[in-house]
């Protein structure tokens, strides 16, 4: 499968500095013509007992106002020691959401957590091939030659 030809990849979240009370939303995603979205958010730095969470939210309109948490749509990691979550990912896939607009709430609690640039992969577009989103500078597909 050629991911960059058949799926859409976007940046949806800028890096977030170390904080113990982060509460930030990603860009909203219009799910029209898509069946699934996977959010990928790196944890860049953590302090012991820090809690990093991403929670899927949905809405019928393109607005933060009225966004509601999706039941069970949470990825959480709790630090057991300084730096033990560094360079790991929080990943949340939402398949066939009920509402048209999707975002994630990114939160930290208890102790400092720093998040990296968040991305999404939108899958099962009803129309292919897809064109690159404006957050993509360059996408390259390499196909290995067939075996002899």
- Delineate the domains of the chain, giving CATH numbers in brackets: 3-123 (2.60.120.260)
Question: Could you report the per-residue pLDDT of 98-126, keeping only the tens digit for each?
Answer: 999 999 999 999 999 999 999 999 987 66
Burial class of residue 142 (count of CB atoms within 10 Å of its CB; 0-12, 13-18, 19+): exposed
Question: Could you report the per-residue pLDDT of 59-73, keeping only the tens digit for each?
Answer: 999 999 999 999 999
pTM of this structure:
0.85
The C-alpha atoms of residue 13 and residue 21 are separated, in whole angstroms, by 17
Tell me which of 8-22, 65-79, 133-147 is least confident: 133-147
The pLDDT confidence band at residue 132, using thresholds 50, 70 and 90, is low
SS3 letters across the chain:
CCHHHHCEEEEEECCEEEECCCEEECCCEECCCCCEEEEEEEEEEECCCCEEEEEEEEECCCCCCCCEEEEEEEEEEECCCCCCCCCEEEEEEEECCCCCEEEEEEEEECCCEEECCEEEEEECCCCCCCCCCCCCCCCCCCCCCCCC
How, if at all, do strands 68-78 and 51-59 pair?
antiparallel
Backbone angles phi, psi at 43, to 5 degrees: -100, 115
Higher per-residue pLDDT: 52 or 142:
52
Contacts of 43 (CB under 8 A, 6+ apart): 52, 77, 85, 86, 87, 88, 89, 90, 113, 114, 115, 116
CB atoms within 10 A of CB 120: 29
């Amino acid at each position: 499968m050629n991911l960059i030809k058949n799926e859409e990849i976007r940046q949806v979240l800028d890096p977030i500095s170390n904080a113990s009370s982060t509460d930030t939303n990603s860009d909203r995603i219009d799910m029209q013509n898509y069946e699934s979205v996977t959010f990928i958010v790196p944890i860049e730095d953590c302090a012991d007992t820090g809690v990093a969470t991403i929670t899927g939210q949905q809405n019928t309109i393109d607005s933060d106002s009225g966004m509601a948490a999706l039941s069970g749509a949470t990825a959480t990691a709790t630090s057991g020691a300084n730096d033990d979550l560094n360079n790991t990912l929080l990943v949340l896939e939402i398949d066939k959401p009920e509402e048209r607009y999707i975002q994630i709430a990114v939160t930290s609690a208890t102790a400092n957590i720093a998040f990296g640039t968040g991305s999404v992969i939108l899958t099962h577009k009803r129309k292919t091939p897809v064109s690159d989103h404006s957050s993509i500078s360059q996408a390259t597909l390499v196909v290995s030659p067939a075996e002899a």
